[in-house]
Amino acid sequence: MIEVKQLYFKYPTMKDYVLKNINIKIELGQIVAIMGSNGSGKTTLIKHFNGLLKPNEGYVKVFGKDTQDESVAALSRKVGLVFQNPDHQIFSDTVWNEVTFALKNFGFEEEVIKKRVKWALEFFNLIQYKDTSPLLLSGGEKKRLCLASILAWDPDYIVLDEPTVGQDFLQKEKLREVIKMLITRNKTVIIVSHDIEFIWLLQPRIILLSNGEVVKDDVCANVFKDDASIDKCGVIKPQFVELFDHLAPLLPHPPLDVLEARSTFLKLMKKGG
Amino acid sequence: MTPLIKFIDFNFSYLDSPTPILKNINLEIKEGEFVLLVGPSGCGKSTLLRCINGLIPHLYSGVYKGKVIVDGEQVSEKNISTLATKVGFVFQNPENQIFMFTVEKDIVFGLENIGVDKEEIGRRLEWALKILNIEHLRYRAPYELSDGQKQRVAIAGTLVMHPKILILDEPTSLLDPKTAYEFISTLKELNRSIGITIIVVEHRIDLLPKVADRMIVMDGGQIVFDGPFKDIIKEKNLHLYGVTVPPIISLQNTLSESGVNLPGYSLDVRSFSEMIKKEVFRND
């Protein structure tokens, strides 16, 4: 479990706290979305999960161990973080070596490394670039490479900062598939994202942040009922929630996806004549 | 009307690439159009844009066949600095174009370089800070900002140059949804008020139905669909070209495939809901 208790944090050059009195617990087997306006502290918060940042006050514990006492390397074995900007974490000379790097550092055997790297590159449709420099990949491909590198070492918590940026429809579908597959293996996926429609389809627990504070922490359906909180956090409603707001007496609840919406509307239209 | 941008029988391959990235492109974009350019990763969108602002062929070498004409002049014969005054480009990654020590200095850098007078620089700066809602960041160092904030700074630095053509590569990808909506509305307002031609590459097209006039879909280095947004968005299998169709539009497409004849086609939730209410209560 990741436990955050009374966390306060500010960057050394800044006067104000970026995170204020954060209290959350994230168990295994969950999808958690962290949402909020630009500069609300989302990325700063997730950097505490693998010890890249340490609290000024309060604590963050990962499987019971205080991040103040652990190295980033040790924490990263449990918590894999994929940055928003892939250029911040790519540094190897080839795509293959990029995925291999952490596995070697974590002491995996050569045969296991080969299998895992091959799986990860094939899964993310990058195997054809294995001998290419990562710098020559497109933005979307670089993001997939970072995800492949992290999944290859199989951490318990996978933290994704804006994973859908630069990804086309098929890649987003694949990402959703990966997330669901990870949950079946009792992993936890924490996603920072502005992509409302992507989040709605995942139906995660949502933590809304505004100005460094948690404004709301609830299941997806409840969060999008809370107009005041989502407005405060720069979030807007998914189209099917907005649709429900307009047609509430006609619809039983906001449709989860297009298929459910189609079936509901087919019944409605039949009734309407 | 003479097109502002014209590609004639255009093909391009990067030096290290075995296959052409752009194949037989013939395209005309008129002054004042708001164009949405979409397609799967690696389909050639970014390469096409680089041909408009002259990064190709001036910075990226390769096999360049055919012509690209911008504002009546061949891109291959003009230098990049001249093209930069006509074509503003906002990169996907804001860090590629922010380098000064304060937000304010970064935004006015381009204007100072082309010798715009101080008063005008001040006016444009205030305008850009306001429309992008970054007045509170003006004295901050760009490296202290979140990526979303950096993106707004990069956009401001381009807008102050008052280019004829504004190209934005996924401009809202790092913006929170509310800011993204406001930003797209601002773009449309600029497009309407000063007639600036806008080309946006965007995967989040749920933001664009009400603003884009035209939609171009690319795949494998070619243009596969090109037409009014409201027509192209109805095309079946757009998802195969990487396009995430907004749920409300996808719903209407699937209802139509199921034999439901709706009296119209709505690009937003509100008008779709009104239409449904009328249909359902028609016989009541």
To the nearest whole Å, the CA of A7 is away from the closest chain B CA by 20
- Range(s) of the domain holding residue B250: 246-284
For residues B257 and B183, state if they share a domain: no
Q: Cβ contacts (< 8 Å) between B152 and chain A: which residues?
A: 38
Cross-strand bridge partners of residue A266 = none
Instruction: Give me the pLDDT at residue A168, please.
Output: 85
Does residue A259 sit in helix, strand or coil?
helix
Q: Cβ contacts (< 8 Å) between A166 and chain B: which residues?
A: 41, 92, 170, 173, 203
Q: For chain A, which residues make up each domain, given as ranges?
A: 1-78+190-237, 239-273
Instruction: Give me the pLDDT at residue A151, please.
Output: 92
Instruction: Give me the pLDDT at residue B16, please.
Output: 73
Confidence of residue B235 (pLDDT cuts 50, 70, 90): confident
Q: What are phi and psi of B168, to 5 degrees?
A: -130, 125
Contact A162, A198 (CB under 8 A): no
Mutation target among B38, B50, B93 for the A interface, most CBs of A within 10 A: B93
CA atoms of A208 and B215, how far apart (whole Å): 34
CATH of the domain at B81: 3.40.50.300
- The residue in chain A having the minimum alpha-carbon distance to the alpha carbon of residue B203 is A168
3.40.50.300, 3.40.50.1110, 3.30.365.10, 3.40.50.720: CATH of A1-78+190-237: 3.40.50.300
- The residue in chain B having the minimum alpha-carbon distance to the alpha carbon of residue A194 is B176
DSSP strand E in A10-72: where?
19-26, 31-36, 57-62, 65-66
Q: Cis omega (within 30 of 0) on the bond before A252?
A: no
Q: What is the 3-state secondary structure (H, E, C) of A147-200?
A: HHHHHHCCCCEEEEECCCCCCCHHHHHHHHHHHHHHHHCCCEEEEECCCHHHHH
For residues B78 and B214, state if they share a domain: yes
B12 has a pLDDT exceeding 60: yes
- Which helix (DSSP H) or strand (DSSP E) does residue A271 occupy? helix A258-272
Q: Is pLDDT larger for residue A23 or for residue B277? A: A23
For residues B252 and B159, state if they share a domain: no
Write out pLDDT tens, residues A232-260: 999 999 999 999 999 988 888 999 999 99
Characterize the bridge pairing of strands A188-192 and A31-36: parallel
- Contact with chain A for residue B254, Cβ under 8 A: yes
Confidence of residue A9 (pLDDT cuts 50, 70, 90): very high
Contact A139 B244 (CB under 8 A): no
What average pLDDT is seen over chain A?
92
CA atoms of B272 and B268, how far apart (whole Å): 6
CA atoms of A149 and A108, how far apart (whole Å): 14
Contact A194 B174 (CB under 8 A): yes
Query: Nearest CB to A38: which of B176, B255, B277?
Result: B176
- pTM score, whole prediction: 0.86
For residues B118 and B224, state if they share a domain: yes
Instruction: Give me the pLDDT at residue A25, please.
Output: 98
For residues B10 and B54, state if they share a domain: yes
Characterize the bridge pairing of strands A213-219 and A205-210: antiparallel
- Contact with chain A for residue B228, Cβ under 8 A: no
Instruction: Give me the pLDDT at residue A272, please.
Output: 54
CA atoms of B257 and B259, how far apart (whole Å): 5
- The residue in chain B having the minimum alpha-carbon distance to the alpha carbon of residue A39 is B146
A271 has a pLDDT exceeding 70: no
Contact A169 B276 (CB under 8 A): no
CA atoms of B192 and A90, how far apart (whole Å): 41
**Can you tell me the mean pLDDT for A159-183?**
89
Write out pLDDT tens, residues B22-65: 999 999 999 999 999 999 878 899 899 999 999 999 998 899 99
CB atoms within 10 A of CB A16: 9
To the nearest whole Å, the CA of B41 is away from the closest chain A CA by 6
To the nearest whole Å, the CA of A112 is away from the closest chain B CA by 30
**Can you tell me the mean pLDDT for B16-20?**
79
Confidence of residue B80 (pLDDT cuts 50, 70, 90): confident
Instruction: Give me the pLDDT at residue A87, please.
Output: 84
Query: Nearest CB to A171: which of B41, B250, B274?
Result: B41
Mutation target among A43, A233, A239 for the B interface, most CBs of B within 10 A: A239
Write out pLDDT tens, residues A14-59: 889 999 999 999 999 999 999 998 889 999 999 999 999 999 999 9
Write out pLDDT tens, residues A199-243: 999 999 999 999 999 999 999 999 999 999 999 999 999 999 999
For residues B252 and B197, state if they share a domain: no
Q: Cβ contacts (< 8 Å) between A170 and chain B: which residues?
A: 40, 239-240, 242
Confidence of residue B284 (pLDDT cuts 50, 70, 90): low
A112 has a pLDDT exceeding 80: yes
Cross-strand bridge partners of residue B7 = B27, B68
For residues B203 and B274, state if they share a domain: no
For residues B97 and B189, state if they share a domain: yes
Instruction: Give me the pLDDT at residue B152, please.
Output: 83
CA atoms of B200 and A235, how far apart (whole Å): 22
Q: Is A52 left (phi over 0), alpha (psi -120 to 50) or beta?
A: alpha
For residues B160 and B172, state if they share a domain: yes
Q: What is the 3-state secondary structure (H, E, C) of chain B?
A: CCCCEEEEEEEEEECCCCCCCEEEEEEEECCCCEEEEECCCCCCHHHHHHHHCCHHHHCCCEEEEEEEEECCEEHHHCCHHHHHHHEEEECCCHHHCCCCCCHHHHHHHHHHHCCCCHHHHHHHHHHHHHHCCCHHHCCCCHHHCCHHHHHHHHHHHHHCCCCCEEEEECCCCCCCHHHHHHHHHHHHHHHHHHCCEEEEECCCHHHCCCCCCEEEEEECCEEEEEEEHHHHCCCCCHHHHCCCCCHHHHHHHHHHHCCCCCCCCCCCHHHHHHHHHHHHCCCC
Quote the number of domains for chain B.
2
- Contact with chain A for residue B270, Cβ under 8 A: yes
Q: Is A29 left (phi over 0), alpha (psi -120 to 50) or beta?
A: left
Confidence of residue A60 (pLDDT cuts 50, 70, 90): very high
**Can you tell me the mean pLDDT for B151-172?**
89
Q: Which of A74-78, A137-141, A174-178, A268-272 reaches the highest mean pLDDT?
A: A74-78
Q: Is pLDDT larger for residue A13 or for residue B195? A: B195
To the nearest whole Å, the CA of A39 is away from the closest chain B CA by 5
A98 has a pLDDT exceeding 90: yes
Query: Nearest CB to B178: which of A234, A261, A272?
Result: A234
Write out pLDDT tens, residues A129-160: 999 999 888 777 888 899 999 999 999 999 99
CA atoms of A151 and A157, how far apart (whole Å): 10
**Can you tell me the mean pLDDT for B238-256?**
90
For residues B76 and B185, state if they share a domain: yes
- The residue in chain B having the minimum alpha-carbon distance to the alpha carbon of residue A88 is B95
Q: Cβ contacts (< 8 Å) between B272 and chain A: which residues?
A: 243
What average pLDDT is seen over chain B?
89
For residues B260 and B183, state if they share a domain: no
For residues B106 and B215, state if they share a domain: yes
Q: Per this entry, what is the length of chain B?
A: 284
- Contact with chain A for residue B85, Cβ under 8 A: no
Write out pLDDT tens, residues B256-275: 888 888 888 888 899 999 99
ipTM over 0.90: no
To the nearest whole Å, the CA of A145 is away from the closest chain B CA by 14
Query: How far lies A90's CA from each of A143, A158, B8, B94, in Å?
Result: 10, 17, 38, 17
Residue pointed to by tokens 């709505």? B266
Computed on alpha carbons and rounded to an integer, the radius of gyration of chain B in Å comes to 20
Q: What are phi and psi of A108, to 5 degrees?
A: -70, 155
Q: Cβ contacts (< 8 Å) between A195 and chain B: which residues?
A: 204
